Amino acid sequence: MTRDRAAQIAGLRALADLLDTNLAVPAPWQSIEIDFSPFGRPLVPPADQLQVALDVIAHMREPELAMELVRSRERAWLNVRGDVVGLTVRLRLDADHVCDRDPSARRKRDRWIVPPRLLAVVRDGRRTP
């Protein structure tokens, strides 16, 4: 099955309309996850991932940032979580695509350096509803 982005978005809108007009249908989720590189295959070109993430984070209220290290591998995920109009949105980014690297760092968690632009957007994220 191939992904048709327009059809997928139309389906989400149709589902939202159904949920809005039929209160008997329970909302199917409280959160969603957007994985930029599922199974190691980037859905967003690596060079564009930081800007796309910044655009999404700009719509989040009180975003939080966390680094997730992969055991026994030289790999890490950068996770951002925040609220977008009552829905929790989690971004999962390959740290190698959005961070600078310092392979000489002694501790594994210090080998990925989060870009200042990303830290600023998370720190200054939307603080009002």
DSSP 59-128: T-EEEEEEEEEPTTSS-EEEEEEEEETTEEEEEEEEHHHHSEE-TT-SSGGGSEE--HHHHHHHHT-B--
Domain ranges, residue 37: 29-123
106, two tokens = 């002694």
Do the domain assignments include residue 10? no
Do the domain assignments include residue 112? yes
Do the domain assignments include residue 13? no
Total domains in the chain come to 1
What is the pLDDT tens value at each position of the chain, 129 positions in all?
356 888 988 988 998 898 899 988 887 778 888 898 888 788 889 999 999 999 999 889 889 999 999 887 888 999 999 998 888 999 999 999 999 999 899 888 889 999 999 999 888 765 444
Element containing residue 44 per DSSP (H, E): none
Do the domain assignments include residue 92? yes
Do the domain assignments include residue 3? no
Do the domain assignments include residue 59? yes
